[in-house]
C-alpha cells in the first residue's frame, strides 16, 4: 500500500485532530503517503484533497474541531455520489480511506466498502452511541464541559434556591447526560432511555425541595421527549410544582468546541494508529474502536443502523446518589 486518504465526517468531536495526526504519522512511518480530504464526504465528491506530511499535522492535537473540516453530505447517500468519490480516489492513486466519524459517517464507510473499496472507520462522536467501541473520541471532553457548566450553575442555583435544567447533547443517546449527571451530583437525569413525564420530573424535584435541599440540578439529554424547553414550559404553566424557581440552560454546541482532554487525545492517537495498522493487515469494512482497553476492529456490517445500549445500572446509581 502506497497512498491512503483520511477524512473527518458528520458532527465534529474534540480529538479528531489528534486522530488525523496519528493516521498521518503512522502512515508515513510505514512508508505510506497520506492525503487529507477537506469537508468530509463532500470533499471526496468535490476532489478536495491535500497531501499531508508530518509537519502539516504538528501543533493541532490540542485543538478542538477538525482542521480538515467536516460536513454533512446528502449526495454521498446516492450511489452516483459515491461513484464520483471513488473515481477521484482512483485518479489520484489512493488505495484506501480512513473515515473518522460517528454513526452516520460509518454507515457511509460501510456503503463505500460495499462497492469494493478498502475503508476503515475510526469511532468518533460525542454521543457515544456507536457499537464496536466502549467509548468514542470526543465523549470525555463533552462530559467535562457539561460537568463544568453543572458545577457553575450549582453555585448560583444554591444562592437563589433554584432548580436548574441543564440540557446536554447526545442525540438519541443519554450517555453524556447520565455521566455528567452522576459526576455533577445532579438531583435528576432525564434521558431518552428512561423517558419521564413533566409531572414525574416536577414530583422528583419537589421531593428534593421537601427534603430540605436548597437547589436542584436536573441534567436533561437533548434526545429526551421532554427536553429542557418542554419541561420549562410545563413548570411555567404550573408554578409551584417544583417548590423552586426553575431555569433552563441549553449547552448545545459549546460542548463540541472545547480543547480535547488528555483522555480523548490518547484515545484518538491509539485509534488513528489502529486504523492504519488495520489497513496494513489487509482489513476493510471495519470500525476501529476500544474494548477493555484493547484496540479492536468490528465489521461495519455489524454496527450500521444500531445504537449502543446504555448501561441502565448507571441510571439507578444516579437515582440513588441523588437521595
Ligand atoms: P455522524 O457521523 O456524526 O453521525 P451524520 O449522521 O450527519 O453524522 O452523517 C454524516 C454523513 O455520513 C452524512 O452527511 C452522509 O454524507 C454520510 N451518511 C450517513 N448515512 C449514510 C448512508 N446511509 N449512506 C451513505 N452515506 C451516509
Q: Average pLDDT, stretch 136-160?
A: 93
Q: How many independent structural domains does the chain possess?
A: 2
Q: Average pLDDT, stretch 269-283?
A: 98
Q: Average pLDDT, stretch 28-40?
A: 98
In this structure, are 220 and 285 located in the same domain?
no
Q: Is the CB of 101 under 6 A from ligand 1?
A: yes
Considering the chain, what is the average pLDDT of its residues?
96
What's the angle, vertex CA 157, arms to CA 170 and CA 217, rounded to 5?
35
Q: Is the CB of 110 under 6 A from ligand 1?
A: no
In this structure, are 133 and 282 located in the same domain?
yes
User: Annotated catalytic, 281?
Assistant: no
Q: What is the reported pLDDT for 252?
A: 85
Q: Average pLDDT, stretch 187-201?
A: 96
Q: How many CB atoms lie within 10 A of CB 108?
A: 27
Q: What is the reported pLDDT for 245?
A: 86
In this structure, are 8 and 127 located in the same domain?
yes
Q: What is the reported pLDDT for 196?
A: 94
At 10, the pLDDT band (50, 70, 90 cuts) reads very high
Query: 16, 77, 303: which to mutate for ligand 1, most atoms within 8 A of CB?
Result: 77
181 falls within a domain: yes
Q: What is the reported pLDDT for 124?
A: 98
320 falls within a domain: no
Query: 16, 107, 287: which to mutate for ligand 1, most atoms within 8 A of CB?
Result: 107
* Region of poorest pLDDT, from 4-8, 255-259, 285-289, 292-296: 255-259
Q: Average pLDDT, stretch 154-166?
A: 88
Residues forming beta bridges with residue 194, ordered by sequence position = 191
**Phi-psi sector, 271: left (phi>0), alpha (psi -120 to 50), beta:** alpha
314 falls within a domain: no
Containing structural domain, residue 203: 141-256
CATH number of the domain enclosing 200: 3.40.50.460
208-219: buried (b, 16+ CB within 10 Å) or exposed (e) per residue? Answer: bbeeebebbbbb
Residues forming beta bridges with residue 34, ordered by sequence position = 4, 52
Amino acid at each position: 500500500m502506497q497512498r491512503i486518504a483520511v477524512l473527518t465526517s458528520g458532527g465534529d468531536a474534540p480529538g479528531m485532530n489528534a486522530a488525523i495526526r496519528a493516521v498521518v504519522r503512522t502512515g508515513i512511518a510505514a512508508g505510506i503517503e497520506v492525503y487529507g480530504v477537506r469537508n468530509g464526504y463532500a470533499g471526496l465528491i468535490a476532489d478536495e484533497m491535500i497531501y499531508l506530511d508530518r509537519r502539516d499535522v504538528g501543533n493541532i492535537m490540542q485543538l478542538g474541531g477538525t482542521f480538515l473540516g467536516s460536513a454533512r453530505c446528502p449526495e454521498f447517500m446516492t450511489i452516483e455520489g459515491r461513484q464520483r468519490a471513488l473515481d477521484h480516489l482512483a485518479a489520484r492513486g489512493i488505495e484506501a480511506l480512513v473515515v473518522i466519524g460517528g454513526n452516520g459517517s460509518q454507515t457511509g464507510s460501510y456503503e463505500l466498502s460495499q462497492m469494493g473499496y478498502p475503508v476503515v472507520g475510526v469511532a468518533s462522536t460525542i454521543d457515544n452511541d456507536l457499537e464496536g467501541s466502549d467509548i468514542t473520541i470526543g465523549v470525555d471532553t463533552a462530559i467535562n464541559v457539561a460537568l463544568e457548566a453543572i458545577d457553575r450553575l450549582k453555585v448560583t442555583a444554591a444562592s437563589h434556591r433554584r432548580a436548574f435544567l441543564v440540557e446536554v447533547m447526545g442525540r438519541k443517546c443519554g450517555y453524556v447526560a447520565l455521566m455528567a449527571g452522576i459526576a455533577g451530583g445532579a438531583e435528576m437525569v432525564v434521558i431518552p432511555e428512561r423517558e419521564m413525564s413533566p409531572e414525574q420530573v416536577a414530583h422528583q424535584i419537589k421531593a428534593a425541595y421537601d427534603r430540605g435541599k436548597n437547589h436542584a440540578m436536573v441534567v436533561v439529554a437533548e434526545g429526551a421527549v421532554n427536553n429542557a424547553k418542554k419541561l420549562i414550559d410545563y413548570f411555567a404553566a404550573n408554578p409551584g410544582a417544583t417548590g423552586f424557581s426553575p431555569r433552563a440552560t441549553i449547552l448545545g454546541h459549546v460542548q463540541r468546541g472545547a480543547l480535547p482532554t488528555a483522555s480523548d487525545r490518547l484515545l484518538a492517537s491509539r485509534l488513528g494508529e489502529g486504523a492504519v495498522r488495520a489497513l496494513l493487515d489487509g482489513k476493510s469494512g471495519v470500525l476501529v474502536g476500544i474494548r477493555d482497553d484493547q484496540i479492536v476492529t468490528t465489521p461495519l456490517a455489524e454496527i450500521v443502523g444500531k445504537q449502543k445500549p446504555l448501561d441502565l445500572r448507571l441510571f439507578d446509581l444516579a437515582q440513588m446518589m441523588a437521595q
